[in-house]
Every structure is written in structure tokens, then in C-alpha cells.
Amino acid sequence: MQVRLLTVGQKMPAWVEQGFQEYAKRFPNDFKLELVEVPAEKRGKNADIARITEKEGRSLLEQIQSGDWVIALDVKGKSFSTSQLAQQIEHWQQHYPNVVLLVGGPEGLSEQCLARANQKWSLSALTFPHPMVRIIVAESLYRAWSVTVNHPYHRE
């Protein structure tokens, strides 16, 4: 299975890249986790936020193939425990070889991205800094995957 994390924003601090890569490299060859960044639009004090969010959304949507299973990270989405996420991973592995996770910019995802999503996933009712989301998603996926293969990483 190929999982691509599509995010708005580039040039993250080194600790963000290192944190994401630490988990991405742990997956086996049959479960790839890849990060794809699209540029964030400039935001000035009189910026048209709706237009910016829509443009960033188009950039994300351009990265999606027709057969991809798309999951939008959205505060209104479904929350998963680790065991529930493990069940989701097993379902994805059986039915969707290409999974795409969408992370929007500071204002979230565009309506077009939310409409394209097959699922919506909420990491928390809390708002996280977008660089942290990359690491949280990578670790959460790794932990849930470890449950599916009885790897000792996850202990209940």
C-alpha cells in the first residue's frame, strides 16, 4: 500500500523533517509513507483568505489520481483510537492500494478538497500546528500499523 501525505507548506524546520522521516523509514516495503508538499500562498494583512485556500486546494487536488482513496484531515472528521485506526489500515490495505491524506494550510482545507474526500479523519478536537501534524500522522499510522502485524511498538 502507498500512503501519500499531501500537505500545504514547504521549508519546514529540520526537526519536522527528521520527525516525519523517523517514522516513514520504519514501514516495510509493502507499506510506503511519502510526504508531498505543495507551496503555501503568501498571506498579507489584506489577503483574500478564501481565494488563497481555494488555490492551495487546487494544488493539492492536482496531486490526486482518479483511483486514490482520499482522506481529509478535518476537525469535523471521525476520530480513531489506535485499534480503530489499525482496523482502518487493514481495510485500506485490502481495498485501496493508494491512499492520500490531505492536510490544508493555516485555514484548513478548501471546500473542493473536502468534497473530494472519501473519508474525513480528525486527529483531535485540538488544533495542532501544521508542521506537527506531519509527525503526529506518521507516528499514528506507524503505531496502528504495528498493531496489525503484532509488532511490539504499541503496548496497551
CA dist 16 and 68 (Å) reads 26
Q: What is the mean pLDDT of the chain?
A: 93
What are the structural domains of the chain? 2-149 (3.40.1280.10)
Burial of 90 (0-12, 13-18, 19+ CB in 10 A): middle
Q: What is the pLDDT of residues 122-151, one digit of tens each?
A: 999 888 888 899 999 999 999 999 999 987
CA dist 22 and 16 (Å) reads 10
| Residue 61 assigned ligand-binding role | no
Which whole number is the average pLDDT over 26-46? 91
| Residue 79 assigned ligand-binding role | no
| Residue 123 assigned ligand-binding role | yes
Q: For residues 147 and 141, is the Cβ–Cβ distance under 8 A?
A: no
Q: Does position 155 have pLDDT exceeding 70, yes or no?
A: no
| Residue 124 assigned ligand-binding role | yes
Q: Does position 154 have pLDDT exceeding 80, yes or no?
A: no
| Residue 9 assigned ligand-binding role | no
| Residue 35 assigned ligand-binding role | no
Taking phi over 0 as left and psi of -120 to 50 as alpha, with beta for the rest, 150 belongs to left
Q: Which three cell numbers stand for residue 30?
A: 509493502
Q: pTM of this prediction? A: 0.92
